[in-house]
Amino acid sequence: MKIAFFACAVTALLMATSAAAQSLFKIVGPDGRVTYTDRAPSASDGRAVPVNRETGSANDPALPFALRQVAARFPVTLFTSSDCGEGCSMARSLLARRGIPYRERTASSAEERDAWVSIVGGTESPTLHVGAQALRGFTPSTWEETLDLAGYPKTSALPANYPPPAATPLIPPRVAASPPPAPRTPPAQDTSANPGGIRF
């Protein structure tokens, strides 16, 4: 019995250690000093903010396990435009209130606006994708119902100080092509030993 208990305790410790090792925390101390660590901070360390490149996705280890499972089955993406104003603000507020981990993609350039219909599937902004379901235009009741059916909690289960997603361009920026190398000029031949320029 003691051996089984010990094995369970070791397994739980390893799982906790593994989860902590996958996360990165930004800690702002009482004196304002900022440090980064992969160890789970204590309350006395200061204000801690999880930092992860996968924020808002099912791969983010800062999310509770149950929330990661829902996000893996029905990932949420918010599509916004630079001129959608209050509608986009209310959409973000709804997602924040419910603690929905999501990604935001926004259109601001003429090229992105031209590509909006083919990428988003309609002309309305904002548009919410919950899994394969596209909700065009901000209709709070429809959004709430769809998130309920997907299994997202009605109240936020996100960790304290969980950062909101940073909006990314609708069309990823193109990497500028490197200019072709300049043609090599052949070295000048020394004609002092061959004044006539005769070649063999």
What does the alpha-carbon distance between residue 51 and residue 35 come to, in Å, rounded to a whole number?
A: 12
- Number of Cβ within a 10 Å radius of residue 25: 20
Structure confidence by residue, pLDDT tens digits, 171-183: 887 665 566 777 7
**Which sequence spans correspond to the domains of the chain?**
1-51, 54-173
pLDDT confidence bin for 69, thresholds 50/70/90: very high
Measured between alpha carbons, how far is 73 from 69 in angstroms, rounded to an integer?
6
Residue carrying structure tokens 């350039």: 109
25-39 residue pLDDT tens: 667 677 766 665 656
CATH superfamily of 54-173: Glutaredoxin (3.40.30.10)
18, 101, 109, 155 from 14: Cα distances, Å: 6, 26, 48, 30
For the record, the structure tokens of 58 come out as: 């099912």
Which range (11-15, 64-68, 74-78) has the least confidence? Answer: 11-15
pLDDT of residue 197: 55
pLDDT tens for residues 96-142? 999 999 999 999 888 888 889 988 988 899 999 999 999 999 999 99
Instruction: Note the pTM of the prediction, 2 decimals.
Output: 0.61
Q: What angle do CA 105, 87, 80 make, to 5 degrees?
A: 10
